[in-house]
């Protein structure tokens, strides 16, 4: 049954009328581009609303379920309408629960009468977050927000589900809490079909999709792939570390149609697919070191330049005389990894300080070296930087390495 929605407000109607007026003034080609940009912004706004950092748990990893729910809520998937085959989806959900994809009743749709009380989702602005700075040496923990006072329930009648209070506008530096979308029957279908893409190799013998659901799954796969690619750039601009890691993880699973980065069965399937292309399963090691640029040693002075040196070792590199296969990716690329740098500080979000692509065009290359210059914090103290190694294309690839350093006050007097 179609979801009931509230009638648009006068402001909504006025805004829609103005958009139509501006579009009508554009040439057809520009109209097409404007609509595509508008659709992409609406999709990324919906995704950001779910994946934005939780201010109460700033460094909590984002689950695959939350990531897939974020993409399943994108307006582009509204093209599927409200149609679905309940029997097929029920059987698929049962098998996914049995396979450990998520807990039972996690995707339970809301009651129809409750849907009318849910406010229309507002798409947040996705302007880039302020450039993060390295942490202070001795941070004071931020006070936890106190819970809202509970409203006593009347004793003479049933209390309806409270409508969601309208959120006040927030400044660019403030981070609101992430918001899970209402689990409507259509959203449940989208989430289940995104999971089907990842679990199809595992469940194909026990679950058979009907023709209608098969077509819908192909549409979800096509749109989902596009959304995952678009979101990588957006999350990097937002500097949301956990969201970036979650999207890289989900992209590798979704693109390879596999369900886990740890399951030995998935790792073996990944190896088989790579063997078909003549490339081995990556075996990678990170080494991280640093030094002051001015001092040319490990001494780091306040506010001075220092350099982070990262070595990515490819222990799976082919021998010099090995037969080299033709690359399947454009530009002669065999492997593509991402190095994400963050500051580590208790109780504070470790935002993305730098994102460095590690592109492999030579399968015999044993080590890739990267040198990242930074300005040291202005205060003396001990600091920690973390380098994450991830990828959007290969399942089973993730590791990180911490680098601890100390900023020491320069006690040498200035010569006059």
In this structure, how many other beta carbons lie within 10 angstroms of the beta carbon of residue 109?
16
Along the 416 residues of the chain, how does pLDDT read in single tens digits?
334 445 567 776 777 777 667 667 777 777 667 677 888 899 999 999 999 988 888 788 999 999 999 999 999 999 999 999 999 999 999 999 999 999 999 999 876 444 444 344 444 444 444 444 455 444 434 444 444 444 444 333 333 444 444 443 333 345 577 889 999 999 999 999 999 999 999 999 999 999 999 999 999 999 999 999 999 989 988 999 999 999 999 999 999 999 999 999 999 999 999 999 999 999 999 999 998 887 667 778 888 888 999 999 999 999 999 999 999 899 999 999 999 999 888 767 678 999 999 999 999 999 999 999 988 888 999 999 999 999 999 999 999 999 998 888 876 555 45
Query: Are 74 and 207 contained in the same domain?
Result: yes
Query: Of the candidates 259, 293, 324, which is a domain's last residue?
Result: 259
Query: Of the candidates 231, 259, 287, which is a domain's last residue?
Result: 259
Query: Are 363 and 214 contained in the same domain?
Result: no
Q: What is the CATH number of the domain that holds 332?
A: 2.60.40.150
Query: Are 244 and 280 contained in the same domain?
Result: no
Query: Are 286 and 389 contained in the same domain?
Result: yes
CA distance 327 to 175: 42
pLDDT digits 0-9 by tens, 15-54: 777 766 766 777 777 766 767 788 889 999 999 999 998 8
pLDDT digits 0-9 by tens, 138-152: 443 444 444 444 444
> Kind and range of the H or E element at 332?
none
Task: Yes or no: say if 68 and 253 are a contact pair by the CB < 8 Å rule.
Answer: no
Query: Are 46 and 193 contained in the same domain?
Result: yes
**Which contacts qualify for 204-207: CB closer than 8 Å, 24 or more apart?**
206/95, 207/91, 207/92, 207/95
Query: Are 352 and 248 contained in the same domain?
Result: no
Sheet (strand 284-292) strand order: 284-292, 305-314, 367-375
Count of domains forming the chain: 2
> Taking the model in full, what pTM does it have?
0.78
- Find the domain containing 248 and state its range: 34-137+175-259
Query: Are 208 and 67 contained in the same domain?
Result: yes
Task: Yes or no: say if 343 and 359 are a contact pair by the CB < 8 Å rule.
Answer: no
47 forms beta bridges with: none
Helices then strands (H, E): number in the chain?
9, 7
């Amino acid at each position: 049954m179609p979801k009931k929605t509230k009638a648009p407000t006068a402001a909504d109607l006025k805004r829609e009328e103005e958009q139509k007026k501006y579009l009508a003034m554009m040439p057809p080609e520009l109209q097409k581009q404007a609509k595509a940009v508008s659709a992409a912004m609406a999709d990324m706004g919906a995704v950001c609303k779910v994946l934005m950092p939780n201010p109460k748990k700033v460094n909590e990893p984002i689950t695959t379920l939350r990531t897939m729910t974020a993409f399943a809520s994108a307006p582009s998937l509204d093209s599927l309408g409200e149609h679905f085959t309940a029997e097929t989806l029920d059987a698929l959900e049962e098998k996914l629960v049995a396979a450990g994809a998520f807990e039972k009743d996690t995707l339970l749709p809301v009651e129809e009468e409750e849907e009318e009380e849910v406010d229309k989702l507002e798409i947040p602005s996705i302007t880039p977050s302020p450039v993060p700075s390295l942490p202070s040496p001795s941070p004071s923990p931020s006070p936890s927000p106190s819970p809202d006072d509970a409203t006593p329930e009347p004793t003479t009648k049933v209390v309806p589900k409270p409508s969601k209070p309208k959120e006040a506008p927030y400044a660019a530096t403030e981070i609101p809490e992430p918001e899970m979308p209402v689990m409507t029957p259509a959203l449940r279908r989208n989430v289940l079909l995104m999971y089907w893409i990842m679990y199809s190799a595992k469940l194909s013998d026990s679950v058979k999709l009907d023709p209608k659901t098969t077509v819908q799954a192909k549409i979800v796969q096509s749109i989902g792939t596009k959304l995952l690619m678009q979101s990588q750039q957006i999350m990097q601009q937002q500097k949301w570390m956990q969201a970036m890691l979650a999207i890289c993880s989900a992209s590798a699973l979704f693109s390879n149609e596999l369900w886990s980065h740890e399951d030995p069965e998935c790792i073996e399937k990944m190896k088989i697919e790579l063997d078909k292309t003549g490339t081995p399963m990556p075996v990678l090691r990170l080494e991280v070191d640093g030094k002051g640029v001015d001092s040319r040693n490990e001494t780091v002075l306040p506010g001075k330049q220092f350099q982070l040196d990262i070595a990515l070792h490819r222990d799976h590199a082919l021998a010099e005389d090995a037969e080299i296969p033709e690359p399947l990716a454009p530009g002669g690329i065999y492997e593509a990894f991402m190095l994400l740098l963050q500051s580590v500080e208790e109780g504070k979000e470790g935002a993305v300080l730098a994102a460095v692509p590690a592109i492999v065009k030579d399968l015999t290359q044993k080590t890739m070296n990267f040198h990242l210059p930074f300005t040291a914090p202005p205060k003396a103290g001990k600091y920690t930087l973390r380098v994450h190694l991830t990828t959007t294309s290969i399942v089973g690839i993730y590791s990180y390495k911490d680098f601890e350093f100390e900023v020491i006050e320069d006690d040498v007097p200035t010569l006059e």
